Amino acid sequence: MIEDFIKKYQYQKKANLKKYNTYKIESLANYLIFPKDSQELLDLLKYLKKNNLKYIILGAGSNIILAKNNYDIVIKLDNLNHISINNDTIVVEAGYSLMKLAREVATLGLSGLEFAGGIPGQVGASVAMNAGAYKQDMSSIVESVKIIDDNFQIKTLTKDELNFSYRSSLFKEKREYICLEATLKLQKDDKNKIFSLMENRAKRRMETQPLNMPSAGSVFRNPNELFAGALIEDLGLKGYNINDACVSEKHANFIINKGNATGEDIINLITYIQSKVKEKYNIDLILEQEIKR
């Protein structure tokens, strides 16, 4: 029985995942497990594989849609949060907050993470999806990553091996791979200049994005030379809702939870938007968020 194995772990039974996802979707985890380090994570993964137990890994829950009302096992990497800084090189574990990291390196006069000041994800998931903003992304600063591969081997992969592309990486192809830590290369710059840029962007986000409502950021990737939000807005879909899942009136590439939206409501709204954009513009909108089934 899994409880016999995880008794040495930090875990919760019948945990409500509402506070662990930014859409604030109500969903339960029979076991919510917090490995204390990479070795505990590796041991846990081996046990789950051996016993054919299904699980999902949840970062900050900021770019995901919980599609199920109940999950058996959910693994959180919050305790993998160690960091070391050597001049302009940062080695940081997967569970570290990307926004926190962006602020901390700014105070040291290190440039390169200004784009991440408003991305509420963790480092591991941000590398995996090549998170970005303002025409920059993680691929611009990642030198290498340490991973657990599908054979439970810990390996280091260089940037060239990660197949980075727009909002994608090798982790999208190799779903079993798990990022443990990343080595980032930044540049020295004037910290007042860095903070000024970050503050200006934060002000712009407040003015243009529904940051006061539960959401998971941009829903769709931008098509080439176009903006997904503009296409959706031009179709008159701002404010369109399926139950409490609603297209934001402030930014059409955001879906907000007005109170009691389920994962199914959000997915149905996404499908509806995609069908309307395809019908009108013959463009296939690609989902930027990840559906956890």
The CATH number linked to 108 is 3.30.465.10
pLDDT of residue 1: 86
Instruction: Give, in order, the Cα–Cα distances in Å from 59 to each of 34, 224, 232.
Output: 11, 29, 28
- Determine which helix (DSSP H) or strand (DSSP E) holds 39, and give its type and residue range: helix 38-50
Please give the sequence-ordered ranges of beta strands (E in DSSP) within 151-240, or none if there are none: 154-158, 178-185, 187-188
- Domain match, 188 and 91 both: yes
Neighbours of 123 (CB within 10 A): 32
Of 136, 165, 193, the one marking the end of a domain is 193
- Domain match, 90 and 188 both: yes
Task: Look up 167 and say whether it is catalytic.
Answer: yes
SS3 76: strand
122 domain-assigned = yes
Range 50-53 contact pairs with CB under 8 angstroms and sequence separation of 24 or more: 51/2, 53/2
- The answer to whether 246 touches 256, Cβ cutoff 8 Å, is yes
Of 57, 76, 95, the one marking the end of a domain is 76
Mean residue pLDDT of the chain comes to: 97
- Domain match, 60 and 110 both: no
- Domain match, 114 and 17 both: no
- The answer to whether 57 touches 122, Cβ cutoff 8 Å, is no
- Domain match, 87 and 188 both: yes
Cα 32 to Cα 72: distance, rounded to the nearest angstrom? 9
- Domain match, 112 and 180 both: yes
Cα dihedral 167, 169, 174, 178 sign: negative
175 domain-assigned = yes
- Domain match, 183 and 118 both: yes
Cα 163 to Cα 223: distance, rounded to the nearest angstrom? 20
pLDDT tens sequence across 223-259: 999 999 999 999 999 999 999 999 999 999 999 999 9
Cα 76 to Cα 150: distance, rounded to the nearest angstrom? 19
Domain count, the chain: 3
113 phi/psi in degrees, rounded to 5: -110, 15
- Domain match, 23 and 62 both: yes
Q: Which one from 167, 169, 181, 215 is the annotated catalytic residue?
A: 167
- The answer to whether 89 touches 185, Cβ cutoff 8 Å, is yes
Residues in the chain predicted with pLDDT less than 70, given as ranges, are none
pLDDT of residue 124: 97
- Domain match, 71 and 89 both: no
Task: Look up 218 and say whether it is catalytic.
Answer: yes
58 domain-assigned = yes
- Domain match, 66 and 40 both: yes
> Can you spell out the DSSP letters for 86-145?
ETTEEEEETTSBHHHHHHHHHHTTEES-GGGGG--SBHHHHHHTT-EETTEEGGGTEEEE
Of 166, 193, 220, the one marking the end of a domain is 193
45 domain-assigned = yes
- Domain match, 37 and 99 both: no
pLDDT of residue 272: 98
Whether the model pTM is above 0.85: yes
Instruction: Give, in order, the Cα–Cα distances in Å from 95 to each of 100, 128, 147.
Output: 11, 13, 13
pLDDT of residue 143: 98
Q: Which one from 126, 144, 215, 218 is the annotated catalytic residue?
A: 218
- Domain match, 72 and 87 both: no
Domain of 66? 2-76
